Structure 1
Amino acid sequence: MAAENPKDVVRRGYDALSMRYDEAYQSDTKYASWIARLNARLVDGSRVLDLGCGNGVPVVRDLVRAGHHVTGIDISEVQIRRAQELVPDADFITADATAVDFPDASFDAVVSLYALIHVPLEEQLPLLGKIASWLRPGGWFLCSTGQHEWTGVDENWLGSGVAMWWSHADADTNRAWLTRSGLTVVQEEFVPEGDSGHALFWARRPL
């Protein structure tokens, strides 16, 4: 029997645990300073794409409140349905991030927090190349990636009995991939989580 597509594991996991994820990770508090810093780098009415937007809170919500035009994409129908209810003034699309496309220079910023780590490794570099092309010259890409290389499944994610799948390279590889995609890494931070953590990158498409 063929192995299950890991994207189906991810989709099913977020469909089942959308509410529990919010409670477990307190993203509202965790992301606030990052969104504020991004907003400070954007002009009023910027166009922003959130890849892996989840339920739209807080990234899409806060950027819409700041006066920006935001499009959110997520693979989970449940997450998108909640996002449409929570942030009715944004545009949302249920889709695999690797399967969407936009014209060159469509966005002033692209955000992808804790989403690239759910994309198969071999698809991450091509996706980063697409993201770079979607940015306008000078546009920002804010993303979190793995700090250490790992691919695997947690069969009991958040103690729920529901499986979740991740795949990520280490921070050095992710930095190299961003550069190879044509972006300039401006800043890199380590975000602790449990006994490990993630890398947070601020990158720009050159002017």
Structure 2
Amino acid sequence: MGSDDERDVVRRGYDELSYHYRADDADDGQYAPWLAGLHRRLPAPAAVLDLGCGCGVPAARFLADAGHHVTGVDISDVQIERARRLVPTATFVRADATRLDLPPASFDAVVCLYAFIHMPLAGQPPLITSIARWLRPGGWLLATVGHSAWTGTEDDWLGGGAAMWWSHADASTYRSWLQQAGLTITAEDFIPEGTSGHTLFWAQRPHASDR
């Protein structure tokens, strides 16, 4: 498949299985300590970009309820429609995160949870470079990425009858990409899932005085 075909698989999968993936009333679950940790690091209020925001629950909802100005981006029309309903105080845009063009230094934080893993691998390093540019000095990136390298498709995702596609590098590669973009990694954790898992990174754009 070409990258546009892969994006279409992801978009259609979330369009078809949005409610199967996460209910309107889903709790914050494992996201809760991550989001609380981000909130503690941010000025009040902060401008936060949520890439791969899904239906807005839980990340955009948590951060908007905490008083931050949240902009959510997702490739799925259904997810964006739900997010606008579930988190009416935030702003949501249906777009491909790897093709965004945003002003430099416009966000205090960027959140990208379980979204990099659905993006074509070639587009991920340029997106990380863009994120570093979109962050203000001292701004934070909170992201989950692959732990082991893998690319593949599942034809019956979540048992819901729709296909889904993933592509991710290993943790050491993401570590290198973050550092090459000029971000300082402050924490890295393994998040288990089934027989494998993901890697959670906290990374910060240095202040000018730190360079």
Tell me if both proteins adopt one fold, taking TM over 0.5 as the criterion: yes
Q: For residues 10-39 of structure 1, what are the alpha-carbon distances to aligned partners after superposition, in whole Å with 9 as ceiling and x for unaligned?
A: 00000000011115xx67212011000000
TM-score by length of 2: 0.94
* Pairwise CA distance, 1:161: 1.7
In structure 2, the partner of 1:156 is 156
Query: What is the alpha-carbon distance in structure 1 between the residues aligned to residue 3 and residue 83 of structure 2?
Result: 31
Indicate conservation of the 8 Å contact 2:149/2:168, yes or no: yes
Query: What is the alpha-carbon distance in structure 1 between the residues aligned to residue 14 and residue 48 of structure 2?
Result: 23
Indicate conservation of the 8 Å contact 2:185/2:202, yes or no: yes
Taking the TM superposition and a 5 Å limit, the aligned residue runs for 1:1-207 are: 5-22=5-22, 28-207=28-207
* Pairwise CA distance, 1:160: 1.4
Q: For residues 71-93 of structure 1, what are the alpha-carbon distances to aligned partners after superposition, in whole Å with 9 as ceiling and x for unaligned?
A: 00000000000000000000000
* Aligned residues between the structures: 205
* Pairwise CA distance, 1:3: 8.8
Paired AA for residue 59 in structure 1 = A
Paired AA for residue 170 in structure 1 = D
Task: Give the percent of matched residue pairs that are identical in Structure 1 and Structure 2.
Answer: 60
- Do the aligned partners of residues 53 and 163 (structure 1) sit closer, same or farther apart at CA in structure 2, a change above 3 Å counting? same
* Helix, strand or coil at the partner of 1:73: strand
In structure 1, the gaps of 5 or more residues are: none
Query: What is the alpha-carbon distance in structure 1 between the residues aligned to residue 95 and residue 163 of structure 2?
Result: 20
* Pairwise CA distance, 1:43: 1.1
Query: What is the alpha-carbon distance in structure 1 between the residues aligned to residue 4 and residue 198 of structure 2?
Result: 26
Paired AA for residue 108 in structure 1 = D
Q: For residues 110-155 of structure 1, what are the alpha-carbon distances to aligned partners after superposition, in whole Å with 9 as ceiling and x for unaligned?
A: 0000000011111000000000000000000000000000000001
In structure 2, the gaps of 5 or more residues are: none
Indicate conservation of the 8 Å contact 2:3/2:120, yes or no: no
TM-score by length of 1: 0.96
